[in-house]
Every structure is written in C-alpha cells, then in structure tokens.
C-alpha cells in the first residue's frame, strides 16, 4: 500500500502500533501523564485566548510537556513531508470537487463546520480519539470504551450518509 500524498510505502501497522505503545507507556510510567491531543489544542488556544476555561490551573500545569508534544507533532509532520518528497498545499478534494463543487469559500466553510462538530464531540466525550482510543482502552477504562465505540459508530454513520446523499 502506498500513501496518497506522495506514493511512498506506508510504515507497517505493527511498527506504527509499537511506536504509539512506546510513547503511551513512557508518558504513563515515566511522566505519569495521559496521552491525548485535544488538551494540547486547548493549551495552544490558551496561549492566545483569555477566557477562564483556557487559563484554568489544571490546563496550565501540564503545558510544560504538552506544548512540546504538540510542537513535536507539527515538526515531525514537516520533517516527514520534506523528506518524503515535499508538501504541496492544494485545494483539490477529488470527488468532493466534482460532485459538490463549492469553491474555496464553500470548502473552507465545510471544513470549519466539520472542525466545530469534532470539537463539540471531543468536549462532549471529555477527550479525543487518541485519549480514549489509545490511552483509555490501554487502561481498560469503561468510559473510554463507550467513547471509542461512539466515535467509530458516528464516523461510520456519517460517512455512509455523506456518500449516499452527496455521491449517490
């Protein structure tokens, strides 16, 4: 299987899983921390926004490790793109463009609405897919199992509806 972006071979799923497991275990046993990216996004928002939600003590206390984690993810993506043949930003969305054809403003609105729904779901579930699906399940947490099943079911239903309604 090759990657869509630049047709490079994908990393074997077992190697990727072992890497995620190693990071999860290191965070848990060395740093007594939970892996989750939605709280990292809250940290980034807290740097520029002033509402009390983004400046609460529990959020500020973890910035020392979470902000470098988020920065490392961005930097790692950049290094991967540059070493894998480059990154070329595009507005091309393939089938979406052919069927719906909203133009740049419409695509931006579509992506913004999707991001808002994801953010709402993340707050509703008290965590994101990485926090619940990776860390919560690894700790046998019942709420994380329910959240992960809900994430997957919601994704499957939404995909089926969107493809059947828009792409016939």
Compute CA distances 55 → 49, 51, 63, 127, whole Å: 8, 7, 11, 18
- pLDDT tens digits for the chain (168 residues)? 555 556 667 778 899 889 888 988 888 888 888 777 888 888 888 888 878 888 888 778 888 888 888 899 889 888 888 887 767 777 777 777 777 778 888 888 988 998 888 888 888 888 888 888 888 888 889 999 999 999 899 989 988 988 888 777
Task: Indicate yes or no: pTM above 0.85.
Answer: no
Compute CA distances 156 → 57, 151, 162, whole Å: 37, 9, 10
In order, the DSSP letters of 29-68 are: IIT-----SHHHHHHHHHHH--SHHHH-HHHHHTHHHHHH
Counted residue by residue, the chain has a size of 168
């Amino acid at each position: 299987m090759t990657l869509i972006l630049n047709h490079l071979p994908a990393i074997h799923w077992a190697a990727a899983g072992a890497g995620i497991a190693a990071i999860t275990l290191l965070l848990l046993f060395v740093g007594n921390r939970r892996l989750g990216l939605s709280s990292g996004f809250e940290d980034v928002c807290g740097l520029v926004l002033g509402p009390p939600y983004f400046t609460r003590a529990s959020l500020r206390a973890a910035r020392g490790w979470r902000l470098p984690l988020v920065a490392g993810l961005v930097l790692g993506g950049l290094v991967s793109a540059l070493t894998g043949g480059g990154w070329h930003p595009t507005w091309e969305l393939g089938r979406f463009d052919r069927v719906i054809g909203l133009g740049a403003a419409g695509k931006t609105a579509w992506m913004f609405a999707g991001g808002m729904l994801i953010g709402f779901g993340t707050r509703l579930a008290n965590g994101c897919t990485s926090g619940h699906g990776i860390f919560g399940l690894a700790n046998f947490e019942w709420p994380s199992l329910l959240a992960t099943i809900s994430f997957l079911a919601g994704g499957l239903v939404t995909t089926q509806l969107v493809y059947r309604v828009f792409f016939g």
